[in-house]
Amino acid sequence: KFFQPKSSVLAEKKVLVTAGPTQEKLDPVRYLTNHSSGKMGYAIAEEAANRGAHVILVSGPTNIQPPANVTFNQVTSAEDMFEKVMAYYNEMDVVVKSAAVADYRPKRVSDQKIKKQPNDLAIEMERTTDILKTLGEQKKHQLLIGFAAESEQLEFYAQDKLKRKNLDMIVGNNIALAGAGFQGDTNIVTIFKKDGTSLLLPLMSKKEVASNLLNEIELLVKENEK
Site string for ligand CTP, 56-95 (x = CB under 6 A): ----------------------x-----------------
Q: CB under 5 to 8 A by kind: which of Ca ion, ligand CTP, none does 78 bind?
A: ligand CTP
- CA-nearest of 24, 45, 60 to 95 is 45
Q: What radius of gyration, in Å, describes the C-alpha atoms of the chain?
A: 18
For Ca ion, the closer of residues 40 and 221 by Cβ is: 40
* Binding segment toward ligand CTP, per CB under 6 A, in 36-44, 51-59, 61-69, 123-131: 123-131
Site string for ligand CTP, 134-153 (x = CB under 6 A): ------------xxxx----
129 contacts: CB under 8 Å, gap ≥ 6: 78, 79, 82
Distance CA(36)–CA(149), nearest Å, equals 11
Q: How many CB atoms lie within 10 A of CB 175?
A: 16
For ligand CTP, the closer of residues 103 and 223 by Cβ is: 103
Q: Which residue is nearest to Ca ion (CB)?
A: 103
With vertex at residue 128, the alpha carbon angle to CA 153 and CA 188, rounded to the nearest 5 degrees, is 30
Does 160 help bind ligand CTP (rule: CB under 6 A)?
no
Distance CA(16)–CA(183), nearest Å, equals 22
For ligand CTP, the closer of residues 103 and 195 by Cβ is: 103
3-state DSSP assignment of residue 135: helix
CA distances from 23 to 9, 64, 72, 105 (A): 35, 16, 18, 9
Of 91, 103, 160, 185, the residue at the interface with Ca ion (CB under 5 A) is 103
* Binding segment toward ligand CTP, per CB under 6 A, in 9-17, 114-122, 130-138, 188-196: 130-138
Q: How many CB atoms lie within 10 A of CB 18?
A: 29
Least separation, in Å, of the C-beta of 103 and Ca ion? 4
Q: CB under 5 to 8 A by kind: which of ligand CTP, Ca ion, none does 14 bind?
A: none
* Binding segment toward ligand CTP, per CB under 6 A, in 128-136, 176-184, 187-195, 204-212: 128-136
Distance CA(192)–CA(7), nearest Å, equals 26
Distance CA(143)–CA(100), nearest Å, equals 19
To the query of whether residue 73 is one of the catalytic residues in this protein, the response is: no
Contact positions vs Ca ion (CB under 5 A): 103
Contact positions vs ligand CTP (CB under 6 A): 78, 97, 99, 101, 103, 128, 130-132, 146-149, 161
Q: Which residues are part of the catalytic machinery? A: 34
